Amino acid sequence: MAAPPVSGPLASLPAAGAQDACEGMGGAYLRARLRGAASLDVSWHGDSLHCDGGLRPDGQGVRVSFNGSVPAHRLLFIFGIDTAPRRGAEHNVATNLTVIFEGERRLYSTGGAGRCSLDELTTETMPRLHGVRRLQLQARGFCIAPASALGGGAALLVSRFDFRGAFFLDQPETRGPSTGPAPR
């Protein structure tokens, strides 16, 4: 049974990407501890998760998302990381976190970068996927305050999380199967 169409504030949220930036990566994962409005321990690896993301429109940071399932829920985590991607390690990076319970009309957001932080963030270039450039991110972080529910209700605390995933560097409209050699 298909979920009903989404309207109102939830309608403007991005849909999960058609391509999985973690495809062929092998070691992709997301682990997170959620308490409050839901009590869940997320541990996704390999094919049990899909990731996507890209540069923020202003180029001053990145968004990386992870989509997967836990018993009775399909979740989407979106990390808004307040740093431009650069190779190497960074510490204490401010991060906004949004957690969406897909098909349930439940959305939680920290509402800015002051509530969550990445203790450590490592960025590396990856081989192209279907001719599209990608970056790998590996991070460990925590939130010091809960994410608020859109429209009110109980808050959701993501007390700790760590992930290894990837995102595409090229704009979504340039994605697609490569019909020739990858551009240099």
pLDDT at 171: 54
In a domain, 183, yes or no: no
In a domain, 32, yes or no: yes
In which region does residue 105 sit, left (phi positive, over 0), alpha (psi from -120 to 50) or beta (all else)?
A: left
pLDDT digits (tens, 9 = 90+) for 37-77: 999 999 999 888 999 988 888 878 999 999 999 999 999 99
In a domain, 123, yes or no: yes
Distance CA 32, CA 181 (A): 39
Q: How many structural domains are present in the chain?
A: 1
Q: What is the DSSP letter of 11?
A: G
In 3D, which of 70, 92, 67 has the Cα closest to residue 78?
A: 67
In a domain, 1, yes or no: no
In a domain, 12, yes or no: no
pLDDT at 143: 96
pLDDT digits (tens, 9 = 90+) for 115-131: 999 999 999 988 888 88
For every residue of 41-60, DSSP letters joined together read EEEEEGGGEEEEEEE-TTSS
Distance CA 143, CA 156 (A): 10
In a domain, 129, yes or no: yes
Distance CA 67, CA 72 (A): 14
Look-up of token digits 């495809």: 23
pLDDT at 63: 92
Full-model pTM? 0.81
In a domain, 158, yes or no: yes
- Residue 160: how many other CB atoms lie within 10 Å: 14
Query: Which pair of structure tokens corresponds to residue 129?
Result: 């996927």
In a domain, 145, yes or no: yes
What domain range is 163 assigned to?
20-170
Between the CA of residue 39 and those of 66, 155, 159, what are the distances in Å?
18, 11, 11
